[in-house]
Amino acid sequence: MSSITTSSPNLAASVSPLLGQSLAELTDWVQQQGQPAYRGKQLHEWLYQKGARSLSEISVFPKQWRAELAEVQIGRSTIHHRAPAPDGTVKFLLQLSDGQIIETVGIPSYSSHPAPHTLSRLTVCVSSQVGCPMACDFCATGKGGFLRNLATHEIVDQVLTVQEDFQQRVSNIVFMGMGEPLLNTDNVLAAVRCLNQDVGIGQRLITLSTVGIPGHIRRLAEHQLQVTLAVSLHASNQKLREQLIPSARRYPLETLLNECREYVQITGRRVTFEYILLAGLNDCPEHAIELANHLRGFQSHVNLIPYNPIQEVDYKRPDSRRIQSFVDALKAHHIAVSVRRSRGLQADAACGQLRASAISQDVPSGV
Ligand code: SAH
């Protein structure tokens, strides 16, 4: 991955950021700088465990070398805004080196053991793009359009930022922030490698969520990862899906489901189907039965997401009785199902509420 080939500190300033690189790549890099190999291990530890934001703070490095490397980019963002919600969820607006702003959400889970309010899990909802080109009708991010893909270091940085802010190790990662991860597969997979091997987060605790891009789920399967694949289905038939998701017109439901079946065959891992519940639109018992018919015998799990309101459209979230009826109908057809609890609603940090409009206000002109 590294394109670092220089031994000149001046040139070093213009190469790709260090964050996202493996121990072997970092070791190569320090050796190209004329340093012994063990400095690579030190650099790795300071980047991924100690959260160094600049090389000058790595106190185990010789003073003179540190001064020479002051311009080398590590690849960390800055926190532009921090919005905590009463449930402990925190939404971060992170500013990237080109001035763009992305959203990342830290979602703590608490348990009563061993003491009340023990933090048991810390999940980070990461963005994979600045904005999103998919334009799903119910999602705030798509309303603001697409700006660019995130680089590997910009994805890894989001996790380190949440870890530092909560002063707690991140346990789970969900690629459910802004963007469509499978339109940025190379950088997303490089980030998954780094988060797994360098930051130390188990692959099984990482979820990639996609609305489905033709051919990409099969390609992902060939990587034989242990990550969880979540597919945003949201509808039990093609007509309804096209109404909600413009890109579905070029990706028939049957083709998508067949690709998911292949994914299960190739990886041996079950697929999660996300299904947003929109009152009166896709939440009737008939829809549950139609969905169950598609998924019969399929190694899968349905995750129902009651709609989180956004300004631009007036879909409604079904009430809890209706949600329960949908759950019961799926269960009656032997479909494994869970309901996602919305977190961070008051900070506009819940699924689908991460928006580009909040961002464009904040982006300095000219970037
Ligand atoms: N592009 C990817 C990942 C980003 S969205 C994907 O589509 O899967 C992450 C999840 O939040 C998706 O399942 C998405 O459909 C869901 N979502 C989007 N808008 C929502 C809203 N207003 N309420 C609830 N869930 C929403």
**Each residue of 10-36: pLDDT tens digit?**
444 446 899 999 999 999 999 999 999
Q: What distance in Å separates the CA atoms of residue 139 and residue 309, rounded to the nearest whole number?
A: 9
Q: Which residue has the higher pLDDT, 192 or 344?
A: 192
* pLDDT at position 111: 84
Closest ligand 1 atom to 178 CA:
4
Taking residue 49's Cβ as centre, other Cβ atoms within 10 Å add up to: 13
- 3-state DSSP: the chain helix, strand, coil percent, rounded to 5? 40, 20, 45
CA of 201 to the centre of ligand 1 (A): 23
Q: Which of 57, 103, 222, 290 is catalytic?
A: 103
Instruction: Report pLDDT digits (tens) over 75-96.
Output: 999 999 999 999 999 999 999 9
Q: Is 290 known to be catalytic? A: no
Q: Is 274 known to be catalytic? A: no
* pLDDT at position 15: 60
Task: Give the long-range contacts of residues 232-237, CB within 8 A, separation 24 or more.
Answer: 232/136, 232/274, 232/276, 233/273, 233/274, 233/275, 233/291, 234/136, 234/138, 234/274, 234/275, 234/276, 234/282, 235/275, 235/282, 235/287, 236/282, 236/287, 236/288, 236/290, 236/291, 236/294, 237/290
* pLDDT at position 115: 82
Which residues lie with the beta carbon below 6 Å from any ligand 1 atom?
Answer: 134, 136, 138-139, 176, 180, 209-211, 232, 274, 276, 305, 307-308, 310, 351-352
Nearest CA to ligand 1 atom 18: 352
What is residue 89's three-state secondary structure? coil
Please say if the pLDDT value at position 242 is more than 90: yes
Domains in the chain, CATH or no CATH each:
11-68 (1.10.150.530), 78-361 (3.20.20.70)
> Among 231, 251, 305, which is best to mutate for testing ligand 1, by the most ligand atoms less than 8 A from CB?
305
Pick the closest to residue 156 from 198, 120, 211, 99 (CA basis): 198
Instruction: Quote the percentage of the chain above a pLDDT of 90.
Output: 80
Closest ligand 1 atom to 132 CA:
1
- Confidence class for position 9, pLDDT limits 50, 70, 90: very low
In the block, residue with structure tokens 């979820």: 207
Mean residue pLDDT of the chain comes to: 90
Q: Which of 136, 194, 260, 351 is catalytic?
A: 351
> Among 176, 185, 308, which is best to mutate for testing ligand 1, by the most ligand atoms less than 8 A from CB?
176
Q: Which residue has the higher pLDDT, 175 or 70?
A: 175
